[in-house]
Amino acid sequence: GAGVSQSPRYKVAKRGQDVALRCDPISGHVSLFWYQQALGQGPEFLTYFQNEAQLDKSGLPSDRFFAERPEGSVSTLKIQRTQQEDSAVYLCASSLSQGARGRGHEQYFGPGTRLTVT
């Protein structure tokens, strides 16, 4: 596709339910990132994949959060036993490569999934 897509765009979950958020990155992009954005704040890093390998999950707030990218393209962020503090917009981004040391590349963001836990 032309850009990063995410589904669903909106999700309402009752406290305690499990949710799964999907991200389709730009075709051919090696790197995939998940961010969490609370209302009025900037995005906060959750986890990073290089192809199918999850190289960094230091930003995941608890063991209720789990992400996977089994074939190195589509990724799923799963939140188990959702809590009200999980309410946020979850953003997925992809980039062409991981970037050589000192380089860095722009990231292309999807529209996000707005999760509301009631």
Contact positions toward another protein, by CB under 8 A? 4, 31, 33, 35, 41-45, 48, 50, 55-56, 59, 91, 93, 95, 98-99, 101-112
Q: How far apart are CA 44 and CA 61, in angstroms?
A: 10
Tell me the pairing of strands 113-117 and 10-13: parallel
Q: Would you say 22 or 105 has its CB closer to another protein?
A: 105
Q: Would you say 37 or 80 has its CB closer to another protein?
A: 37
Taking CA atoms, 46 is separated from 1, 14, 19, 32, 83, in Å, by 24, 22, 16, 11, 17
Q: Cβ(11)–Cβ(4) under 8 Å? A: no
Q: Would you say 59 or 72 has its CB closer to another protein?
A: 59
How far apart are CB 2 and another protein at their closest, in Å?
13
How far apart are CB 45 and another protein at their closest, in Å?
5
